Each structure stands twice: as C-alpha cells, then as structure tokens.
Structure 1
Amino acid sequence: MGIREAEHFVRLVRENPDESIFAGGCSESDIAQAERRLGVTFPESYRYFLRELGDCDVAGEEIYGIVVRDGRMLGVVTETLDLRESTGMPSHLVAFRPDGMGGYFTLDTSEMSAEGEAPVYVWGVGAHSATESEYIGTDFGTVALDLAKRGLGIA
C-alpha cells in the first residue's frame, strides 16, 4: 500500500493539467536535505510524490512538498518548522497540508511500517500528541489519491 496509490495520484495530477499545478520533481539531494532539516525520514509514498511532482495543488487540494527558491527550501520544510516552533507540534510529525479548520494533515514518522510508510493524522493546534489527533489513513499515497479524486469529482 502507498506506492501504487501515489503513482495513481501522480497520474491524475498529470492527466488533469487544467486543474493541477505542480512544481516539478525534486532531486534526491533536495529530499535528503529536507529530511535532515526536519530530523525525519520521509515515508516511501511521500518520497515518490516529491521526486515526481515536488509540490502540488490538484483541484484546490493543496499538498506541500519541496520548492527551492533563492536558495531557501519552502513548502513542507518551512510549514513544518513554523508549526513546531509556533504551536509545539511534535518533531516526529511532518505537516503536508492544512485541513481548512486550523489543523494540518501530518505524517507520523514515529510509526513507520515495515514497508516504509507512515500513518496520516490531522494534528490540530493545541494537540499535544498524535494520539489526540484524528486518524486519516494508513499512508500518504492513499490519502493523496483520495484528496485528488474528491477534488476532481471522481468516484
């Protein structure tokens, strides 16, 4: 689970250029640098997304990735670091999209599976642990695919 869904997600983004914006894939060195800055290892399906798209919005469903501008690493790195500093979000969580209600979809890297996937939770401002958060899904690929299908109106 995870990689197949991430591949399907990437296909949907590319097949719907009128409703999708993406930055372009990231290099392995950019991904490694982002992991070092955040002190985590990204799940495999999220790494695939980063390599293929970098960062994207599909039909209004924004997903933070890695965008490098003027030597500064934006997207998932700045958003996650800002949340850790301003709200006390735990260091094992990686915020990859806002939920629209003040919380953030996060990858819980402390719960990596044998397949290299991390579960997704919505972490709300004021929460103190992932256990207080709402469980969303088993992995990034599955959640991203569901978001894209919802945004594109695909059953």
Structure 2
Amino acid sequence: MNAQIAMMINEYVEKGDFFGAVPEEDISRAEEKLGCKFPRQYKEFVKAYGSGGICGVEVLGVEGNGYVSVVDVTERFRDFGLPDKYLVIENVDEFVYCLNTEENHCVIRWDDISKKEIERYSSFDEYLQDSFQEAIDNW
C-alpha cells in the first residue's frame, strides 16, 4: 500500500472504521474458498486492516475466521454471473467494483444486469486512493 493511502487512513480514520489486522491463515482460507490468490496490494490491505474504509468507503475483506465479507459477497455475485477471476471489493448497490485475480490485477466495474466488465483502475492501490480521495473531498 502506498504512502498516500496510509496518510489518508491515518488522518481520517475513526474508531470502528476497520476490522483490524488478520492473520495469514484467515487470508489463505478465504483464498481457498474462492479458488484464487489475492493480488499483492489487496492482500497487504487485508492483512493490515481486515476490511473497512474511511469517510463512507467500505472495502470488503476478511473479518477473522468467523465471517469473510469478500467471500460472502463474491459468491453471491458469482451466482449472478460474475466470472470466477474477480473478487468483489466494494458493493455500490447498482454495481460492484471487482479486482481481477488472474491477469493485470485491474479493478473493474460490473453489474448483474448488463454483465459488462468495464476497467476503471489499473490496480487496487489506484482504486483505493481514488475512492478514499473522492470520499474525503465529499466529506
């Protein structure tokens, strides 16, 4: 995770915004359940923060052994036709942001009506920085 993202989090974090750090074993269980490996930038975020966000942005992740939001939501959208190579990292109601786990690790926008895969960001860090900055600007 880049320094700009860490700075935004440190400046705007409030109690309860993030689940908190999770062990590698919980991340490995989530990867196994979804049948994919988490891209490095996303894995670093999950390991440090679990899940959560700032200023209303809610990034799905791992919340310990008992519940894993990224697994729950990704499985639900896979039932609607989301290709297996994607992880749902944010549900924005009318669409979801998904992280490509196989190819260039870009972030796409996808909805269960059109089923179009629209590339929005070249990396998880780019998505996170832009989403957090927009949320901060609107806060």
Match of 2:49 in 1: 53
The residue correspondences of 1:71-150 to structure 2 (distance < 5 A) are 71-85=65-79, 87-100=80-93, 102-112=94-104, 118-128=105-115, 132-150=116-134
Aligned length, in residue pairs: 138
CA distance in 1, matches of 2:46, 2:62: 7
- Cα shift readout 1:21-59 (whole Å, capped 9, x = no counterpart): 001011111111110000111111101100111111310
Counterpart pick for 1:30 among 26, 29, 34: 26
CA distance in 1, matches of 2:112, 2:85: 15
Secondary structure at the counterpart of residue 122 of structure 1: strand
Secondary structure at the counterpart of residue 67 of structure 2: strand
Q: Is the Cα–Cα contact under 8 Å of residues 107 and 120 in structure 1 kept in the other structure? A: yes
Structure 2, unaligned runs of 5 or more: none
1:106 offset after TM fit, Å?
Answer: 0.2
Match of 1:115 in 2: none
C-alpha RMSD over aligned residues: 1.9
Q: Is the Cα–Cα contact under 8 Å of residues 87 and 101 in structure 2 kept in the other structure? A: yes
CA distance in 1, matches of 2:10, 2:22: 16
Between Structure 1 and Structure 2, the one with more strand by share is 1
CA distance in 2, matches of 1:16, 1:147: 13
CA distance in 2, matches of 1:35, 1:135: 23
